[in-house]
Chains A and B, each alone.
Chain A
Amino acid sequence: MTSQPVVRVRDLTKAYGRTTTLHGVSFDVARGETLALLGPNGAGKSTTVEILEGHRDRTGGEATVLGVDPRVGGLDWKARLGIVLQTSAEQGTSTVREQVAHVAALYPRPRDVDEVVAAVGLEAQARTRVRALSGGQRRRVDVALGIVGDPELLFLDEPTTGFDPEARRSFWGLIRSLREAGTSILLTTHYLDEAAQLSDRVAVVIGGRVVAEGRPDELGSAESRTPRVRWTDAAGRHDERTADPGGLVARLHGAGSELRDLEVVRPSLEDVYLDLVAEAAAS
């Protein structure tokens, strides 16, 4: 046992009355790693994360976060976590700096407040009340509150929902800098580009199960990563998977048929993911 994972989840189940939302979720997050839980809305991502944060009880299975069962995690344990919940909190009558300074004071070894405000790009808004900020800026406040305690492990639950593309880019930069500083991160998102950009590994959660897990560029079956050639001819629209797209295009061209809308596509994470969602829906 060289290095214990910071998060270890085995056969995690969660039932609300007769409805079961988690059917045995298992995964690890290694120290220093960023794992993205990817999945459609209602797949069980947030339920999983809230169990790990100690906000919900589990029905069955095992969970360890920083070596501690979240059901009994005390204040010393909470001091080592950073949590960015899915929804922004509070009426926002405090200013950005007041809010961050207040939460910083609750931690034994907080980061410098002004540094954190700067890190999330809100120096100009430091004296603005949180309620006067835009949605994206508020989300940055949430992240500031999540990292001001200098956590070993950061939970980010759909952090960029509602961001414009530019805000998302700069947010990604912020998360990368935390990664580089050694923070382990458990991210949930339904944005595939975000998972591809930020994570070392992706676990796809669909219907309360992990249906695939791996590096973003390795995810899915070999078949699902096979390039596709699409074209339209007199017979209609075609879509073929082939390991040799160049050869196929050459043959089609040689056959002399009139090709329209010819594309050669190397499946993106999105294609792989949509295949997984479709497979899960079919089974």
Chain B
Amino acid sequence: MSDVRGGAAAPTTRPRAASPGLRRVLALGGVQVRHEVRTYFRAGDTVFFTFLFPVVMLAIFSTAFSASGPYGVRPDGSEVDAAAYYLPGMIAAGVLLSGVQGLGVEIAVERSDGTLKRLAGTPLPVASWFLGKLGQVVTTSLLQVALLLVVAAVLFRVPLPTDASSWATLGWVWLLGLAGSALLGIALSRLPRTGRSATAVIVPIALVLQFVSGVYLPFAQLPTWLQQVASAFPLKWLAQGMRSVFLPESSAAAEVGGSWDLAGVALWLAVWLVAGAVAARLTFRWGRRDA
């Protein structure tokens, strides 16, 4: 080990503004993804409140409202029951929880307990750290969506889409929404002043959005002004995009404006993705420098 230490002849390194090589950024991003995913599943509280929460809510709503409805009629004449109706909302809520709530709380805690400060002292590129967080969210959200689909299909007999275009829509709405949600979570992690207050600051934001965006309450039943407010936030569009995947075409009539408006979904999710990326990049600090 002593052979790498230079003696007096060791050349002085001048600070280099050059960014680390892309290969190194990606390789260390991979290292971070592994570490982040492992850490995620070992923290019991996040696994419950972020990962399993939408599954639990789907089970409760599907059971509680099993006698009500129907929430729509499919072309083959079968009725859309509570489980089928709430599935898209819970997938959308899970995407929001994974990014905004999961990352927002997790990073605030890591900033406060010194985890980020320690990483700041290592040669880990910031870009690799971002990749690690995004990779964690993509991995855990994929598993969560899969779990929701299995629970819905097996326990509640919800028919899943059979055409490729529905699955493709699910794919892009999920990816666009998740990337935006993750970047917003990274930006929001700057809000709590301490790790202890992180849950108290961030959970209500996610909770209010879920109530006004058509996850728990049918969106069309909200007063117009509240619909307009909710339409400024991404979850409303995410939930709408997910409904277009799982509900029959006839249900589009119940949407505000009478259609799924996938162009609007793409546009608004893209706007929030860009806003999240800019906010995350501008506000990110390893620590509270000089606090």
Interface residues of A, Cβ cutoff 8 Å to B: 2-4, 16, 31, 53-57, 66-69, 72-81, 83, 85, 87-91, 93-94, 98, 102-103, 105-109, 111, 145, 149-150, 152, 181-183
B residues contacting the other copy or chain, number (CB 8 A): 40
In residues 106-146 of chain B, which contact A (Cβ within 8 Å)? 109-110, 113-115, 117-125
Known: A4-B12, A74-B15, A93-B39. A79 touches B1 (CB 8 A): no
B287 in contact with A31 (CB, 8 Å): no
In this complex, what residue of B is CB-closest to A56?
B290
On whether the beta carbons of A73 and B15 are closer than 8 Å, the reply is yes
| B8 contacts the other chain (CB 8 A) | yes
Chain A to chain B contacts (Cβ below 8 Å), 12 pairs: A3-B8, A55-B289, A67-B12, A75-B125, A76-B13, A89-B118, A90-B118, A91-B43, A109-B4, A150-B1, A150-B5, A182-B2
Q: Interface 1/0s, chain B 79-119, versus A by CB < 8 A? A: 00000000000000000000000000000011001110111
A-facing mask of B199-232, CB < 8 A → 1, else 0? 0000000000000000000000000000000000
Cβ–Cβ < 8 Å partners of A31 in chain B: 7-8
Contacts A56-B289, A68-B14 known; A91 to B113 CB distance under 8 Å? yes
Interface contact A90-B124, CB-CB below 8 Å? no
Chain B neighbourhood of A74, CB < 8 A: 15-18
- CB-based contact A106/B31 at 8 Å: yes
Does B75 reach chain A (CB closer than 8 Å)?
no
A residues less than 8 Å from B8 (CB atoms): 2-3, 31
Q: Is the CB of A57 within 8 A of B290?
A: yes
CA distance A89 to B117 in the complex (A): 8
A149 near B12 with CB under 8 A, answer no
Task: Tell whether, in the assembled complex, residue B122 and residue A89 are in contact, meaning their CB atoms are under 8 Å apart.
Answer: no
Most buried by A among B6, B16, B120, B122: B122
Contact residues of B between 141 and 182, Cβ < 8 Å to A? none
Q: Is the CB of B123 within 8 A of A106?
A: yes
Interface string of B177-192 (1 = CB under 8 A from A): 0000000000000000
B contact residues around A103 at 8 Å (CB) = 122
**Residue B35, interface by CB 8 Å:** yes
Cβ of B31: which chain A residues have Cβ within 8 Å of it? Answer: 102, 105-106
The yes or no answer to B264 lying at the interface (CB within 8 A) is no
Supply 9 further A-B pairs (C-beta < 8 A) apart from A89-B113, A145-B118.
A16-B290, A55-B117, A56-B289, A75-B123, A79-B123, A85-B118, A106-B122, A111-B1, A183-B5
B122 touches A55 (CB 8 A): no
Contact with A along B1-44 (1 / 0, CB 8 A): 11011111010111111101000000010010001001100110
Check A87 against B114 for contact (C-beta < 8 Å).
Answer: yes
- The answer to whether B123 touches A55, judged by C-beta atoms less than 8 angstroms apart, is no
B123 A107 Cβ-Cβ under 8 A: yes
Nearest A residue (CB) for B41: A93
A106 touches B117 (CB 8 A): no
Q: Give, as a whole number of angstroms, the nearest-CB distance from A6 to chain B.
A: 10
Q: 7 shortest A-B CB distances, which residue pairs?
A: A89-B114, A67-B12, A93-B42, A3-B8, A83-B121, A79-B123, A75-B123
A92 to chain B, nearest CB (A): 10
Partner among B5, B12, B42 whose Cβ is within 8 Å of the Cβ of A182? B5
Contacts of A150 in B (CB 8 A): 1, 4-5
Residues in B neighbouring A3, C-beta threshold 8 A: 8
The closest CB in chain A to the CB of B18 belongs to: A74
Partner of A94, one of B10, B28, B39, B120: B39
Min CB gap B95→A, angstroms: 24
CB-based contact A57/B39 at 8 Å: no
In whole angstroms, what is the CA distance A54 to B122 when docked?
11
Q: Which of A2, A53, A78, A181 contacts B123 (CB 8 A)?
A: A78
User: B122 to chain A: which residues have CB within 8 Å?
Assistant: 78, 103, 106-107, 149
Which residues of the other chain, B, contact A73 by a CB distance below 8 angstroms? 15
Inter-subunit contact B38/A94 (CB<8 Å): yes
Is B115 within 8 A of A106, CB to CB?
no
The answer to whether B120 and A55 have CB atoms under 8 Å apart is yes
Q: With both chains docked as a complex, state the minimum distance between the C-beta of A142 and any C-beta of chain B, in angstroms.
A: 8
Residue in contact with A85 in the complex, picked from B6, B7, B114, CB distance below 8 Å: B114
Contact check, A55 vs B121: say whether CB atoms are below 8 A apart. Answer: yes
B13 near A67: Cβ-Cβ < 8 Å: yes
* A80-B123 Cα distance, complex, nearest whole Å: 9
CB distance from B20 to the nearest CB of A (A): 5
Chain B residues with CB under 8 Å of A182's CB are 2, 5
> How far, in whole Å, are A165 and B28 apart by their CA atoms in the complex?
39
Give chain A residues whose Cβ lies under 8 Å from the Cβ of B12. Answer: 4, 66-68
List, in ascending order, chain B residues with CB within 8 A of A80's CB.
Answer: 13
Q: Residue B5 contacts which of A57, A75, A152 (CB distance < 8 angstroms)?
A: A152
